[in-house]
Amino acid sequence: MEEEKRRTERAYLPPRFWKAVLAMRNHTVLNCKSDYWDELMTGRSVQGSLWEAINIVGDYLDGVIEDGWMDDKD
């Protein structure tokens, strides 16, 4: 039920939104490695951490990519 709700909510966001989220996530992972990995290695993967945020965004992006929401329809 929750997964279906997430998929429906994603449907209302255009591909350019998801492409922008992907670009920001990739930029953060590449350019903030020390912040991301430091939190992971020290076990600070707590609510509100960069590590947690990157993983939440990644989970949504996996579904978006799988469902084809980033594909341009034009």
Mean pLDDT per 10-residue interval, the chain, length 74 residues: 66 85 91 76 70 87 88 68
pLDDT at 43: 65
Q: Is the pTM of this model over 0.75?
A: no
Provide the pLDDT for residue 7: 63
pLDDT at position 20 is 94
Contacts of 55 (CB under 8 A, 6+ apart): 45
Tell me what pLDDT residue 52 has.
Answer: 82
